[in-house]
Structure 1
């Protein structure tokens, strides 16, 4: 059976790998000039570094399992430090023990004031801010939950779905302090939270794609049903190529997926079109010398009005980066609804982010080199009711034989979750179309 995968991010790659390993004839169609989605290696100051995601959640198996399957076991590494800080009230303050920003103690290093209340967990979905503020107060939302959510989703706590983005917070129950204390104690024995690869997680896409037919710069114009399968129209409008396949997996972001599915799965397309995306940028700096800060980095509450939302000292975090003898710092800029912030040119973004870093760390030398990596429309926003929207999409897709969808728009934006989405789509095809 021949299967077309539309989209060469990690979801599409995971689906392609699963299908190919189980005997399908796969062609992967990627509209850009490279594979990997938000995984990307690039050179800054003569160093090869991650310019997108630089770690994966190690407490989900899918990412590590895929690394094992494609022969990267000997490169897997855990961070040297997970100690982080919050830059708020004018200083860097040690991050207290939390569960997605929910503190396990009322002692918060002067970061926020806690006003605890015991309130039953609602059955209906609500925003993360509504849920947390009713139980711990608005200050905990503003100065702990908001920066953590911003680091993962580039979104805002008063808009993001509790059920879709922070089910671990809901699972803490009606008494959030007590629930977080218990959860932190249980998590302490479960091993490292994150993992990476020596040389960068940006190595993973090409390793997964090995042996698979890949077409880059292959924009998919249309996905249409035929009497015995699917017809994919690929390429520029002046020279469209037609590819006939038995099944198709649409692994494109929600806006592109909505366009491609408008005729074959209109209910799914309508729901996909309602998913918004946030644009972000990462500014990577290489220095000869770094700050006298030993943690992995810091988060910034939006309420403090800084330009950057987070910083990572990659040379503190990863031994393989430290071994270069340079200090590498990454600054994150941008959240949902802040597109105008990113309209400045690279020189301005670099200067403004560096000014914040110098204020936070109490000074930094001039960098040897820097690079701005923009991720336009990079992160889907899981608004309140998101899981109901995903249910609608999945129900509609299930009525169309030989069609599957996957990606970050559905049930998780992290690398393991996206890999799981692609693998699940492949398994559904293998259990359905290939068995028929």
Structure 2
């Protein structure tokens, strides 16, 4: 028996980011009646579409991992199949040691497997390369149940490879400190390699060889024409078309289990539900769950976040003709620059180039864990800081014809050592109450496919629970 066989089961989803929208979409497919509540005036969370000088741009996340199927499958399910688009180029550089250098091939999140490509790139000094080579002579390391990624890689290959390769790549995902981030949570493939191989480099080479066999499966990353920010809008439209109710500017004040139903306190009224999915960041989830699940709320209080700003600029194309080829470049913080990356959007995405052939759009990112002071500067200062670093990295001297700054305060949850154990405890506390689940970037990964999968998991567990409840102890009699 499914929830569809028991009409009238009402599920409230709290949070209109991609995780909450994915949960709502899945719940409706499972036969539930759904109300989604979003506190802000818009849907999508960290996925946001906009425009600059008439060119569509992403103001948040701009691509999704296509090798994980969940996000691409959701995009197809909501009518975006013909707008899915792989990057036109994925060749990236790294601005370090005074020059723009190619990102060496054959690595896993910056951990090198191909030492020849690493040496040819010029990213590391001779001393750094010699230290990396020691990995293949050292005895096997010990990772236990979890280990800090940067600390372990540095113990095998030296700090230089962490500071100049691992940090900028990992920083693009988490904006975090690699010496604090959990290897098991952030890069589980590397954790498996560390447990199963004496040499990290050897394990990375084997991993890359297997990955090469999967190249025929299609592109690694995927975008959407007009921007990834189109995805939550399309999911919301699909949810409404399926009968789901979506309410924005609706703040959830609290949550209470009444013995046979949930009472969701919304502004000055209460909404009754058979089940609830909490799909908001940790601080909001803590506030909502404080009364009903205090133990989970206490665990959520320990979750930390990194903030960042995205600076998007449009230039007259002839004035940036000298920019290097490729999709952009990364910047290690050890080099003392303000920006941590730049994406040449007009090179990376065909739709961004085609929108206005006379304009070239690029963006930079600023901000890392524990470094928010720059985000408090005026927009013009952040644009000037970006232009300064772009000038030194790629020789850009042109002034933008348009620019905008988007700040994402508390945008990226941090995954320190022990994070997965904390998530397991949170889920255990929440699951002790009937018809309650959590989902989102804090639990299962910050990437779009991981967030979609998290929402789907919560929805599936809710639907299963509702069906079991409807069947009763005698199997539906």
The corresponding residue for 1:162 is 183
What SS is found at the alignment partner of 1:435? helix
Equivalent in the alignment of 1:287: 315
SS of the equivalent of 1:298 reads strand
- Which stretch of structure 1 is more off in the superposition, 357-366 or 416-425? 357-366
Aligned to 1:431: 464
**Structure 1 residue ranges, 4+ long, deviating more than 6 angstroms after superposition:** none
Match of 1:99 in 2: 108
Structure 1 residue ranges without an equivalent (≥5):
none
Are the counterparts in 2 of residues 84 and 296 from structure 1 also a CA contact under 8 Å?
yes
Which residue of structure 2 lines up, in the alignment, with residue 123 of structure 1? 144
> Given that residues 263 and 273 in structure 2 are in contact (C-alpha distance below 8 angstroms), is that contact kept between their aligned partners in structure 1?
yes
In 1: Cα distance, 2:246 partner to 2:401 partner: 37
1:205 to 229, 232, 235: 232
Counterparts of 1:61-210 in structure 2, within 5 Å, are 61-97=69-105, 98-107=107-116, 108=118, 109-112=121-124, 113-114=128-129, 115=131, 116-117=134-135, 118=138, 119-172=140-193, 173-190=197-214, 191-210=218-237
> 1:433, CA displacement in angstroms?
2.3
Q: Which has the larger radius of gyration?
A: 2
What's the CA shift for 1:123? 1.8
Q: 2:363, 2:245 → 1: CA distance?
A: 34
C-alpha displacement of 1:176: 1.2
Q: TM-score, normalised by structure 2?
A: 0.89
Q: What is the CA–CA distance in structure 1 between the aligned matches of 2:431 and 2:157, rounded to whole Å?
A: 41
Q: Quote the Cα distance in structure 2 between the aligned partners of 1:39 and 1:253.
A: 14
| Corresponding residue number in structure 2 for 1:307 | 338
Q: Which has the higher helix share?
A: 2
Query: What corresponds to 1:258 in structure 2?
Result: 286
1:223 maps to what in 2?
Answer: 255
Contact 1:380 1:408 in 2 (8 A): yes
Separation in structure 2 between the aligned mates of residue 185 and residue 92 of structure 1, nearest angstrom: 27
- How many residue pairs match? The answer is 432
Matched, 1:377 2:389: no
Give SS of 2:421's match: helix
CA distance in 2, matches of 1:45, 1:358: 22
* SS in structure 2 of the partner of residue 160 of structure 1: coil
Q: Does 1:274 align with 2:339?
A: no
Q: Secondary structure at the match of 1:26?
A: strand
CA distance in 2, matches of 1:359, 1:272: 41
Aligned match for 2:38, one of 22, 27, 30: 30
CA shift in 2, pair 1:295/1:121, >3 Å: farther
- Kept after mapping to 1: 8 A contact 2:316/2:401: yes
Contact 2:387 2:396 in 1 (8 A): no
In 2, Cα distance between equivalents of 1:367 and 1:189: 43
2:474 — aligned with what? none
Structure 1 residue 282: Cα displacement: 0.3
* Equivalence for 1:401: 434
The TM-score with structure 1 as length reference comes to 0.97
| TM alignment of 1:356-395, pairs within 5 A | 356-395=389-428
After TM superposition, give the deviation of residue 121 of structure 1 in Å.
4.0
- 1:120: Cα distance to partner? 2.7
CA contact (8 A) 1:401 1:433 kept: no
1:342 maps to 2:359: no
> Which sections of structure 2, spanning at least 5 residues, go unmatched?
1-8, 470-477
Secondary structure of 2:36's counterpart equals: strand
> CA shift at 1:155, angstroms?
0.2
Equivalent in the alignment of 1:297: 328
Give the Cα–Cα distance (whole angstroms) in 2 for the partners of residues 144 and 246 of structure 1.
49
